[in-house]
Structures are given as structure tokens and as C-alpha cells.
Amino acid sequence: MNSGRQSPIFEAKTSKSDLPKMVRNGDTANSGMYKIHRIRLCRMANCIVSNVISPSCIWVKLTNHITEQLQTTDLNDLVELNEVREGQYVMAPLENGLYARARVIQLAVGGDSDSCASKVANYAKVLFIDEGTTGWLAIPCLAKMDPILSYHPWQAIAVSLFKVVL
């Protein structure tokens, strides 16, 4: 029954009579990989611009966002990661003394000759899902994300300009 592109929001139907079911947030497969939904704008919304990368990649946030509530300044609560995978949600340093939710989008080997020779990734490119910014960070800087934080959608919303006439 499943052919073509799969929905990131709804589970695949097993028969035509099945009603759509939303994919649950959190660690649904007990694999340590979380599902965090994005905010879907269905109508006009009041937003603030968070980050502009290009006309085709603009990050905005709703004016009533809860970004600050999803960040941590208590670094003693952070738990070190055992392993890092692409697509994994983590806590990453946004600025000095402030950790925010992020998604690992790329791993890379760099720096000293020991890590280059062993091909062990020691840097991760992360997307801060509540800010819409990216950054390269050393993997030891990353920490486990509290599972309760996976039940709040991304606060940053990607938009693009379309049919702009000057």
C-alpha cells in the first residue's frame, strides 16, 4: 500500500479505510532517536525573523514562542553522550553557559592527526531547532537532551520568499 513519499507527520496507512494517525513525539522505538514535530502554519501568523540565510531560507518564530523555556543554563544537569549520530537531537552550546536543543545534521573528522587517521568523527554540524541557526561544534561539547523536551515542537519555522516582484 505504501508507495512514493511518506508523510513526516502521519503514520503509513495499512488499508484505505484506516484513519490517519499522527506520528508520536518522543522516542517511539526506544532507539534514542526522537521525533520532534515542527509547527505548521495553516493561516496568517505574527512572527519575528530569527535568522536569514538566503531568500529561499528564512527562519521565523511565533511572537509567543517558548524558546527560553527549552534552554538550560544549569550545566550540572547535562549528561554526556556515549555516541553521536546524524539526525539525533542533542543539547548544544548556543553561547557561553547556555545550552539549547539542536539536531545533528553532519559529522566530520578534523583537527589532530590521531582522529584523522582513525576516521572517528570529532566535529558535528548542528541545527539549533529553536533558533534556525547552524554551527560546527566539537562532539564532547554535546549533551543528551532530556526526553521531556522532545514533546515541544521546533520553535523556529523555515519559510521562503516566492514570486517576489520588484
Length of the chain: 166
The reported pLDDT for the residue numbered 116 is: 54
Q: What is the pLDDT of residue 121?
A: 86
Instruction: Name the 3-class secondary structure at 91.
Output: strand
Q: Which H, E and C letters describe 113-136, residue by residue?
A: HHHHHHCCCCEEEEEECCCCEEEE
For the chain, which domains are there? 47-159 (2.30.30.140)
Q: Which residues of the chain have pLDDT under 70?
A: 1-9, 22, 28-29, 32, 111-118
Is pTM beyond 0.85 here? no
* Structure confidence at residue 163 (pLDDT): 84
The grid coordinates listed for 103 are 539536531
Q: What is the pLDDT of residue 113?
A: 52
Q: What's the Rg (C-alpha) of the chain? A: 18
